[in-house]
Chain A
Amino acid sequence: MESLKLSKEKLGDFVSKLTDKELLVPQKEGEALKFAPLAGEDMPELDYENTSVPPKNAVFPHTETMLQFELGKMDMQVAAGDEKEKVLLGVRPCDARAMVIIDNLFTWDVDDPYYVDKREKSTVVGLACHEPCSNCFCTSVGGGPASTEGLDVLLTDLGDSYLVQPLSEKGEVLCQAGADVLEKASDADIQGAEKAHEEAANKISRHIDTAGIPENLPSLWEHELWEEVSRSCLGCGICTFLCPPCHCFDMQDEVEGFEGRRCRTWDSCMFSEYTMHASGHNPRHSRRERTRNRINHKYSYYVDKFDVIACVGCGRCINLCPVNIDILDILSKVREAL
């Protein structure tokens, strides 16, 4: 597919061509940067490192109504399939890869209609990273600052313009819609972008060699490292809720008056009640077991099942952990122990 170019001045014009779709761009909500619908005439602001809340919210919302019911009545309304077409603009390549990783889970034995509907109706426009954050390690887990996996279009900042590379049919459709403001990219533009991609990859300063970890991690089941790395854990949901490939959910019936709904909400394996049995027994009774599960799930079980590590190296769990539990530190301890 042919590479195009968009002048930064025309970004607003480009966006205004996409009126038939809901446009989600990184925006401050309260103090947090997250993907939210762009209001009215606002211009998208694409000058940021990464959002604190990943865009997984757009395909796997924190809270999702699955069906609605009325007490005393037999019929229920299933709430899937009425999703609007969306464009996510400015998604970092790691976060887009995460969607491909969790596609495996949500389409594994049966397709999850809620997730699949949102995913099919989303066009993901990525923005290659120029300045990776301190704790980015995407290149160690199969990604990169300009990885195209999961993206329909990749934008690369060229200074006063973006190189626009459509990567899929949805991407082509989007570029056709904005054809008036897009121009053909020159070879120099493409080479400039390639150079920027390479420079960004070289700026990534944290790495981990994952070879051998997925196969051998469960052999460290009773190793003392798990107690060591989990002692300071607070058992909160930051590392999982803000993890782009984390996908666990809880389901609850919520009834107010006679109106009820079944909804699913994000859940976290770091919460004590996550594995609480009805009997009152909890097989993961302390933070040691929960931390061990979190790492094993990402770096071993998921690989075993879907042949991909459920971590994209975005660094959010490292940046935001209140007690400096650092997954790269854990993995390097794992390496030493293997």
Chain B
Amino acid sequence: MVDLDKLRTVAKETVSRDDVKYLIGWSQGTFGYRVSPHFVKTPQEVDSLTFSPLCSNNLATYLTLTEKLPVPRGEEPDTRKVALMVKGCDSRAVVQQLIEQGITREQVYIIGCPCQGVVDLQKVDEKLGEGVEPAQASWENGQISFQLPDGKTEAFPREDVLADKCITCRYPNPVLSDILLWDEVEVWGSDDYEDVKELDSKSPEEKWAFWQDKFSSCIRCYSCRNVCPMCYCEDCILDRLNPTWMFRSNNVVENTAFQVARAFHLAGRCIECGECERVCPVDIPLMKINRKLYKEVREKYEFEPGLDPESKPLQASYRPDDEEDFIL
């Protein structure tokens, strides 16, 4: 069970350590059921930390997003750790970054938060509307309970408000952590990739029409790329001008090229945290592409990313018995 006192005590101890730069967790947002990533530098700031079904953000992104600025002359680089609060899916992102050597184990102190699934705010909005006053939610006996503006609460069955990725989640417990805040939760999900199979069963023309419709609304804000804990190339092909791999023009051809490139670069790397789909301001169902590639990799290579920090990246591994009958 979630124990916020424990969370804050551990956070206080952690940020007091000499070898920790800051801690990244979640705190109540500025309105409604929103939550913000919260950066804690001093023990006084831990009281606003929280953990609830509203904590969707995958904070592992910040491990690679934070700019590496030049060290001023006469100063030593700050090599202290970043302490990071992780759910199950978030921990897989950290593991995958370790596998790829995007970060090193010494750079991060992992505080594991076994998770019972986070909500999809769009589903919540449909039921309760978007409030102005900041409000909270909690897990309660298989339900998720929401605080209402009048002080009362309203509970819904988990499956009615959980994010889709959480309904099929197989890794609610952190796969790697330095400290676990409370007991692991029982795994509830199984994933038969029903949504992928459904789209797969359509004709190429139907699939093309489906994606053309979706990609035509892309505004190229790159929030899907920036929020992704696996998208951390210092030099992204989307930003390159010489050579220009992808035009900046917003049209369905370029948008498709962008989204296909994004998805391919995540094959065998995406850990299904669903952040890209959550943040998309025009609601493109990006997880349908990511999950298609996840399914292929899982079935063809018996490989799942972000589980074992000692393993090799998919593209850097080879086994003589790897399936190859799809190669022409």
Known contacts A231-B39, A254-B249, A31 near B132 by CB under 8 Å: no
Considering only residues 305-338 of chain A, those with a C-beta below 8 Å from chain B are 318-320, 322-326, 328-329
Query: Given that A30-B217, A234-B223, A238-B223 are contacting pairs, would A322 and B278 also be in contact in the complex, using a CB cutoff of 8 Å?
Result: yes
Q: Does B281 contact A323, Cβ atoms closer than 8 Å?
A: no
Map CB proximity to B onto A104-134 as digits: 1 under 8 Å, 0 otherwise. 0000000000000000000000000000011
Consensus secondary structure, chain B interface = loop
Q: Distance (Å) between the CB of B139 and the closest chain A CB?
A: 21
**Residue A62 lies at the interface, judged by CB distance under 8 Å to chain B:** yes
How many residues on the A side are at the interface (Cβ–Cβ under 8 A)?
A: 46
Stretch at the interface among B30-38, B109-117, B171-179, B312-320: B30-38
Partner of A32, one of B39, B62, B217, B226: B217
The contact of A252 among B30, B57, B217, B244, by CB within 8 Å, is B244
Chain B min CB distance to A166 (Å):
33
Query: How far is A283 from B130 in the complex, measured between Cα atoms in Å?
Result: 39
Contacts of A319 in B (CB 8 A): 130
Query: Which B residue's beta carbon lies closest to that of A288?
Result: B67
Taking the complex as formed, is B292 at the interface, i.e. its CB lies under 8 A from any CB of chain A? Answer: no
Min Cβ gap A75→B in Å is 22
A236 in contact with B226 (CB, 8 Å): yes
B219 interface hit (Cβ, 8 Å): yes
- Flag B224-236 by CB within 8 Å of A: 1 or 0 each: 0111000000000
> What chain B residues lie within 8 Å of A241 (beta carbons)?
219-221
Instruction: From the candidates A52, A250, A254, A265, name the one contacting B281 in the complex (CB within 8 A).
Output: A52
Q: Which chain B residues border A272 with CB–CB below 8 Å?
A: 239
List chain B residues, Cβ under 8 A from A322.
57, 223, 227, 275, 278-279
Cα A236 to Cα B283 in complex, Å, equals 15
Cβ-based interface call for A186 (8 A): no
- Say yes or no: B36 contacts A232, CB within 8 Å: yes
Partner of B65, one of A235, A242, A285, A324: A235
Evaluate contact between A31 and B217: CB separation under 8 angstroms.
yes
Which single member of B36, B241, B251 contacts A323 (CB below 8 Å)?
B36
Assess whether A285 is in contact with B67, with CB atoms less than 8 Å apart.
Answer: yes
Query: Which residue of chain A is the closest to B67 with respect to CB atoms?
Result: A286
Instruction: Give the distance in Å from the alpha carbon of A309 to the alpha carbon of B222 in the complex.
Output: 27
A134/B221 contact (C-beta < 8 A), A234-B226, A265-B248 known: no
Answer whether residue A208 sits at the interface, using C-beta atoms and an 8 A cutoff: no
Contact: B223 with A30, CB < 8 Å? no
Assess whether B30 is in contact with A254, with CB atoms less than 8 Å apart.
no
Contact yes or no, A34 B132, CB < 8 A: no
A30 and B216 within 8 A (CB): yes
A234–B65 CB distance below 8 A: yes
A205: B residues at CB distance < 8 A? 132
Contact residues, A216-250 vs B (CB, 8 A): 231-232, 234-238, 241-242, 250
Residues on A with C-beta less than 8 A from B227 are 234, 236, 322
Of all chain A residues, the one with the shortest Cβ separation from B228 is A234
B221 touches A29 (CB 8 A): no
A232, A237, A268: the one within 8 Å of B37 (CB): A232
Given contacts A232-B36, A250-B248, is CB(A329)–CB(B220) below 8 Å?
A: no
Q: What CA separation (Å) do A206 and B32 show in the bound complex?
A: 13
Contact residues in A for B62 (Cβ distance below 8 Å): 232
Secondary structure type dominating chain A contacts? loop
Q: Decide yes or no whether B61 CB sits under 8 A from chain A.
A: yes
Bound-state Cα–Cα, A232 to B219, Å:
22
Contacts of B275 in A (CB 8 A): 322
Of residues 262 through 306 on chain A, the ones whose CB sits less than 8 Å from some CB of chain B are 263, 265-266, 268, 271-273, 285-287
Of the residues B61, B67, B251, contact of A287 by C-beta under 8 Å:
B67
Q: Is A63 an interface residue (CB 8 A)?
A: yes
Q: How far apart sit A133 and B130, CA to CA, in the bound complex (Å)? A: 8
Q: Which residues of B contact A62 (CB under 8 A)?
A: 219-220, 250
**With A134-B31, A232-B39, A324-B30: A30-B282 Cβ-Cβ less than 8 Å:** yes
A234-B65, A268-B221, A286-B67 given as contacts; is B226 within 8 A of A324 (CB)? no
In the complex, whether A68 has a CB less than 8 A from a CB of chain B is no
A322 to B278 Cα, complex, angstroms: 8
Q: Is the CB of A30 within 8 A of B220?
A: no
The 8 A CB mask of B26-52 against A (1 = contact, 0 = none) is 000111101111110000000000000
* A29 lies within 8 A of B216 (CB): yes
Q: A265 near B250 (CB under 8 angstroms)?
A: yes
Within the complex, which residue of B34, B130, B223, B250 is in contact with A324, where a contact is CB–CB below 8 Å?
B34
Q: Does B214 contact A (CB under 8 A)?
A: yes
**Interface assignment of A135: CB less than 8 Å from any CB of chain B:** yes
Is B69 on the interface with A (CB-CB < 8 A)?
A: yes
A31 pairs with B283, CB closer than 8 A: yes
Chain A residues closer than 8 Å to B189, beta-carbon distance? none
Known contacts A30-B214, A235-B226; decide if A63 and B36 are in contact (CB<8 Å): no
Are the C-beta atoms of A273 and B239 separated by less than 8 Å? yes
Q: Which 5 A-B pairs have the closest CB atoms?
A: A31-B283, A32-B282, A237-B221, A236-B223, A322-B279
13 example contacts (A-B, Cβ-Cβ < 8 A) are as follows A62-B219, A63-B250, A63-B251, A134-B132, A135-B31, A231-B39, A234-B65, A238-B221, A238-B279, A242-B219, A318-B30, A322-B57, A323-B36
In addition to A30-B214, A62-B250, A231-B37, 10 A-B residue pairs with Cβ atoms within 8 Å of each other are: A62-B220, A205-B132, A232-B36, A234-B61, A234-B65, A237-B220, A272-B239, A285-B67, A323-B36, A324-B34
